[in-house]
Structure 1
Amino acid sequence: MRVDIENLTAHRGGRPVVTDVSVSVPSGTVLGLLGPNGSGKSTLLRTVSGLATPSAGRVRFDGTDLTALKRKHLARHVAVMAQEHNEEFEIPVIDMVLLGRIPHGRGYGRDSDHDIALARQALTRVGAAHLETRSFTALSGGERQRVLFARALAQDTPVLVLDEPTNHLDIAHQLELLDLVRATDRTVLVALHDLNLAARSCDAIGVLAEGHLLSLGTPDEVLHTDLVRSVFGVESTAVAHPRSGRRHLLFDARSPLEPNDHDPANPSISTEEEITTP
């Protein structure tokens, strides 16, 4: 399913957090969103998923405006894994994953055998089948992340919106989860902090700073040392990965200069309002 974000602006607490962002994400594309803390990644994802209301602009799924979709129909289009969650009530893991099946139900009856099979399949895919009968509140942070991703998979939507899904995961499970994301063949918008993980796992990268989309393209096009210095305030060295040949960044030190104001005149930053991912 294609996702089109058109001139999107969103406010939070009375101030603009995302400003005039446009990007088209073709069906089956994994788009990674990068940026410093407070750059607007989470607000953008919340707005795309319908959890927040845009101040201007619109979001379309295969040409259908998000605002034209009823809540249940939207939940059949987009599954969300939020950065912050408050699932602190006692509930078995299998029931937590089954919450992802609610949009497909016909009421509040018992879960069907098909729903239970899909939930167990999702747990198996994320390597958490052994947690099925455990209480969600008794899990570690990393185990919770895997269960919440299983819930998103069980929702069986063509679009996944994932906000920092690798939080609390060790490196092995970070790689495993992002490989699973790619293997879903769904349209994915994912916010990440690790630039090299994003380069390894995403088809396209969008960089946000102060609510503006500064650069968009393939990882090799976007992740260069000038941008890392300008946006993140870090000096880095770009090398070719010995196996894949793709660009890999070595982080040297914090830049002695503060990140710039993202002046449109800076040639190292793309300022096109809309760039279609490959």
Structure 2
Amino acid sequence: MGKPLGDFIRAKRDSIQPESLGLPDRGRRRSPGLRRLDLAARAGISVEYLTRIEQGRDRNPSTAVIKALADALGLVPSERNHLSYLAKITRGECAAHLRPTPPSRQVRPSVLETLRLLEPGIAIVANRLGDVLARTSGYESVTGGTGLLDAASPNLTRYVFTDPRARTFFTDWDDVADELAFDLWLAPSIENVEWLTAELTPIAGPDFTRRLNRHLVPRRGTLRLNHPTGQELQFLRETLEFPADAQQLVVFLPADEQTAKALDQLHQPHGRLRSIS
């Protein structure tokens, strides 16, 4: 998928003001942020070598070089992990298939039983591509009427980037879009990412491509939803990873009292949400 390692380094370099690193202001620059010269000096590598990495012409940077770049850019732990992962992609260490194939949608019986025990809570089993593989009735109740589950094989990423209703349903649509675009890089293999993005790019447009290629590590804060009744529901998210299956169990917990009261109403027999003053 192009030059993801170089794209990430360039995006972080452009976001850093030299003054924040104690570097002098060198006057007008053709692009914002940190100069290649300054980053290369801080990382202890040549400008020519940094240019080759950013342009995707060097596909085998050493672990020591990646660590030096992470230090020079002042990356936080989550960004360091992503940089290391992109280096592995660049070296070809993460390709699991010879050709793009749709990921498995099979959920293990024990995982489905775990999901059943969470009823009537709000939870889903999903993968990094955004496929909603299984869900509780509570999740169906909260998302009903939004169009999210209308497809035979619901996919959050496709819904967020292609269905206009998503921009109303997700209060912080931009943050959710950044999360889903970033998670594509964490999919089981780069080929599976390409399989999904080949479908999405023509219909989602340049906004999707831009978010995918800027590698913005998301904050994953409180999830705010505009329920069709007009209420705003706020959720904290707890995630249990199943690495062997390349799947996640995500549980949505009410983040405030109003949301908790609204969910209590929803869980009543034939319950419907009403406005709560």
Q: What's the TM-score, normalizing by structure 1?
A: 0.24
The structure with the greater share of residues assigned to helix is 2
The structure with the greater share of residues assigned to strand is 1
Tell me which structure has the larger Cα radius of gyration: 2
For CA contacts below 8 A with separation 6 or more, give which structure has more relative contact order: 1
Q: What's the TM-score, normalizing by structure 2?
A: 0.24
